[in-house]
């Protein structure tokens, strides 16, 4: 089914529904079963066959199952790409992988850096400040490793 440019909202809803499926870890069979169980959809089991109002209903159903719509992160500031900034991000992601962060987003990292140094962006850190942040993140990982033993 080809979509006309006027169907941009429809395409946005379809994309959002697929994001919701992925985030809810809903396999294809479960998803189609959910669709077929919605009386307003008349047994349709594919988003491609749904109208905009029906797509909205499907999205609302996914929200009831726990999906939360988050706006796109509109990062206007480019990421710092120097070696120390990459190391800071790497350590931050290690903390995430260890389950030690509630929020592993870039914004949360920036807030951590700001709290540690008073500087609001990684690219504005001096070498000494970046080293300070790296050491703090390493110590956090070491403490967590020691507590796990």
pLDDT tens profile 69-124? 887 665 566 677 788 999 999 999 999 998 888 888 888 999 999 999 999 888 89
What residue ranges do the domains of the chain occupy? Answer: 8-65, 83-148
Q: Mean pLDDT over all residues of the chain?
A: 86
pLDDT band of residue 47 (cuts 50, 70, 90) is confident
Q: How many residues does the chain have?
A: 149
Q: What's the alpha-carbon Rg for the chain, to the nearest Å?
A: 22
Residue 24 to residue 7: CA distance in whole angstroms: 26
- What is the predicted pLDDT for the residue at 76? 60
The 10 Å Cβ neighbour count of residue 95 is 17
pLDDT given for residue 1 in this prediction: 46
């Amino acid at each position: 089914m080809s979509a006309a440019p006027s169907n941009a909202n429809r395409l946005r809803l379809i994309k959002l529904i697929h994001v919701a499926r992925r985030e809810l870890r809903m396999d294809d069979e479960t998803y189609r079963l959910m669709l077929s169980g919605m009386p307003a959809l008349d047994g349709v089991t594919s988003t491609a066959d749904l109208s905009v109002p029906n797509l909205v209903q499907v999205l609302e159903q996914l929200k009831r199952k726990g999906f939360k719509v988050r706006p796109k992160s509109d990062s206007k500031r480019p990421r710092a790409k120097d070696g120390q900034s990459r190391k800071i991000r790497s350590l931050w992601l290690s903390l995430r992988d260890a389950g030690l962060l509630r929020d592993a987003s870039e914004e949360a990292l920036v807030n951590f850096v700001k709290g540690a140094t008073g500087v609001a962006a990684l690219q504005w850190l001096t070498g000494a400040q970046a080293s300070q942040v790296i050491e703090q993140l390493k110590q956090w990982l070491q403490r967590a490793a020691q507590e796990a033993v």
